[in-house]
Amino acid sequence: MKPCVPTLGLTGGIGSGKSTVAQRLVELGAHLVDTDAIARDLTRAGGAAMPALAAEFGAAAIGADGALDRAWMRRLAFEDRTAKARLEAILHPLIGAAALQLAAAHRGRPLVYDVPLLAESRGPWRARCDRILVVDCTVRTQVERVAARPGWTAEAARRVIAQQADRGARRAVADAVIHNDAISLAELASEVDRFMAWWLGRDGRPVVAP
């Protein structure tokens, strides 16, 4: 069954600028369901996922603050090919359930699911969305942006990028692509505005093709 309100799946690799695009969509009136934020809540100290994560990965996965040690988990995922799948098997059902609860509060506004791993999903997220927007940039730009974040290195950024869907796979699922390389924040906002007008049927001009 098609969504009763315009429903968008927003995705992009780490460092692509997806969060900036999401914020602009909110400013334009969309209701955002941020699956990264849901994951952080589930893995905070006392979060709903923590007992299962501790049982699966042991005390080493828990930081001094009682939350999931994300840096430790990133290292494990690089060293152990099964770790990512085991982590996702715990988190993804919980994230999906929480996302649906939050979506129920949209009250008729355009709905945006911000899903970093949408291209990797095999059904549920795509089925919930009538359009998919990909925020794209070069791997070099991704690495530069992520390495500038506190606690990150270029090598750590490359490892995460290597574990995500590649640019071609993301573009293959897209109805529209915003290319976020070498443009200003104002120019990026303008691209989002143009996409929003097309998505909601207020402007028939084509968006950037995948």
- AA letter at 66: G
Give the whole-angstrom CA distance, residue 197 versus residue 203.
5
CB-CB contact of 87 with 77 (8 Å): yes
Give the whole-angstrom CA distance, residue 33 versus residue 22.
10
pLDDT attached to residue 122: 64
- AA letter at 115: V
Model confidence at 114, pLDDT cuts 50, 70, 90, reads very high
Q: At what angle do helices 18-27 and 185-199 cross, to 10 degrees?
A: 60
**In the numeric block, which tokens belong to residue 199?**
């998505």
pLDDT attached to residue 203: 55
Q: With CA atoms as reference, report the closest residue to 135 among 189, 95, 93, 96.
A: 189
Residue range 115-144: average pLDDT?
90
pLDDT attached to residue 120: 84
Compute how many other C-beta atoms are within 10 angstroms of the C-beta atom of residue 104.
9
Residue range 162-184: average pLDDT?
93
**What is the Cα gyration radius of the chain?**
17
Which residues touch 43 (CB under 8 Å, ≥6 apart)? 49, 50, 53, 67, 68, 70, 91
- In what helix (H) or strand (E) does residue 32 lie, and over which residues does it extend? strand 31-34
pLDDT at 74 over 80: yes
In this prediction the pTM is 0.87
For the chain, give the number of residues: 210
